Structure 1
Amino acid sequence: MATSPTVLAGVSTGSPDSSSISASIPTTTKFPLFPLLIAVVVGVVIAALGVGGIVFYLARTGRLPGREGSAPKAEIAAPMTTHAVVLEPLLVNLADAGGSSYLRVAMTLRVADAEGRKAKEEKPQEIKESSDSVASVRDTMLTVLGTQTAERLLAADGKERLKAELKAALAEHNAELKVKDVFFTDFLVQH
């Protein structure tokens, strides 16, 4: 009977013993299953995060194909049109103790246009002295400016505080005139 030399090398000529047979059979080593499973799960999670990040970026920037009509785009509000209202210079006695301080100021107001009004002019609109709204605006301005002191106006934030007070007073007394901003074009405090 012909046998291979490897089988014959492991078999003794004596009686076959169970311990000698088990020693001659090569045993297979177990592959570590748990670390392999962890590595596969970590790899799948990293790949899913990478693909998810790319899809999110493409969807956020609008570059994802096939999604042009699916999501409603946010309507961009049209900017409110405004026009400039140039006021004639005002001369006001300030509320200082000596009564000798005064303020000379020229202002331009940025006013929101009425909803139905179209902007026909590109240059600032100058208010005429005869209109009732101008008289009301000038009265409001003079009332607010007359309560100021020279020290308060000359403070670091004096002009900004004055602008806020003027806008608030105009909103309260002249509600039909929607003042968005106040600009000082001339500002002189005589102390």
Structure 2
Amino acid sequence: MASSPTVLASSPSAAVGSAAVPTTPKFPVLPLVLAAVMGVAVTALVVGGVVYYLVRSGRLPAHDSSAHKAEAAVPMTTHVMALEPLLVNLADAGGSSYLRVALTMRVADAATKRDAKPKEEAAKDNKAGDEAMAEARDTVLTVLGRQTADGLLAPDGKERLKAELKAAFGAQNTDLKVVDVFFTDFLVQR
């Protein structure tokens, strides 16, 4: 039995022989590499932006060794100045509201001169202390006289008053550097 050449070419064994070299499918390598690089770049930008925002907002403290060394080298010494209780009419419409307050202030010490004699220093400190106390009482009375009962009794009233007192001391009494204000007695009467 003779076969024809056309039959042999169309037989299944002939088809397998002609496709003996398997072809590998081509993967798009360049787009995959570009996508990976872009993903890494976008992630780095997002993380960097978040860290920058946290450092600038103060939620993440930045490590600055030079600032810590400067603070450690010059410690600030303070002393306490306690004012006697004050009774102040408040700025309410009826004029019948008043505030009784006693406060204590933490004040930064002034730099002392090494050339001064101890007796002269004690006399100057006593006189300066009386003047500072009078100036402090005047400043406190001025600030308190502008307050209202509703403003003081608000949830943030005392904190706002402390900030106003510190600002007033900074503006009116430049020699007296008030670091903090503490209320030891606070009574509002309407």
TM-score, structure 2 length as denominator? 0.56
- In the alignment, what sits opposite 1:167? 166
Distance 1:157 1:24, change over 3 A: closer
Q: Distance in 1 between matches of 2:165 and 2:23?
A: 85
Q: How does 1:79-118 map to 2 (within 5 A)?
A: 81=76, 83=78, 84-114=80-110
Identity of aligned residues (%): 53
Which structure would you say has the larger Rg?
Answer: 1
- Matching of residue 33 in structure 1 with residue 26 in structure 2: yes
Greater alpha carbon shift after TM alignment, 165-174 vs 78-87: 78-87
Distance 1:111 1:26, change over 3 A: farther
Distance 1:184 1:82, change over 3 A: farther
Amino acid at match of 1:138: R
Q: CA deviation at 1:132?
A: 1.1
Contact (CA 8 Å) 1:87, 1:106: kept in 2 or not?
yes
Deviations 1:54-95 (A, max 9, x none): xxxxxxxxxxxxxxxxxx964343276353432222222333
Q: Distance in 2 between matches of 1:149 and 1:40?
A: 69
Q: Distance in 2 between matches of 1:164 and 1:147?
A: 14
Distance 1:26 1:144, change over 3 A: same
Please give the secondary structure, in 1, of the residue aligned with 2:104: strand
Please give the secondary structure, in 2, of the residue aligned with 1:153: helix
Q: Distance in 2 between matches of 1:38 and 1:88?
A: 80
Q: CA deviation at 1:177?
A: 2.2
Distance 1:90 1:145, change over 3 A: same
Q: CA deviation at 1:99?
A: 3.9
Distance 1:25 1:142, change over 3 A: same
Gapped runs of 5+ residues in structure 1?
1-12, 54-71, 118-126
Contact (CA 8 Å) 1:171, 1:178: kept in 2 or not?
yes
Aligned residue pair count: 150
- What is the aligned-residue RMSD (CA, Å)? 4.4
Q: Distance in 2 between matches of 1:93 and 1:23?
A: 110
Stretches (4+) displaced over 6 A: 13-17
- In the alignment, what sits opposite 1:140? 139
Q: Distance in 1 between matches of 2:5 and 2:158?
A: 111
More helix by proportion, 1 or 2? 2
Q: CA deviation at 1:25?
A: 3.6
Amino acid at match of 1:34: F
Distance 1:73 1:188, change over 3 A: closer
Gapped runs of 5+ residues in structure 2?
45-62, 114-124
- Matching of residue 75 in structure 1 with residue 66 in structure 2: yes
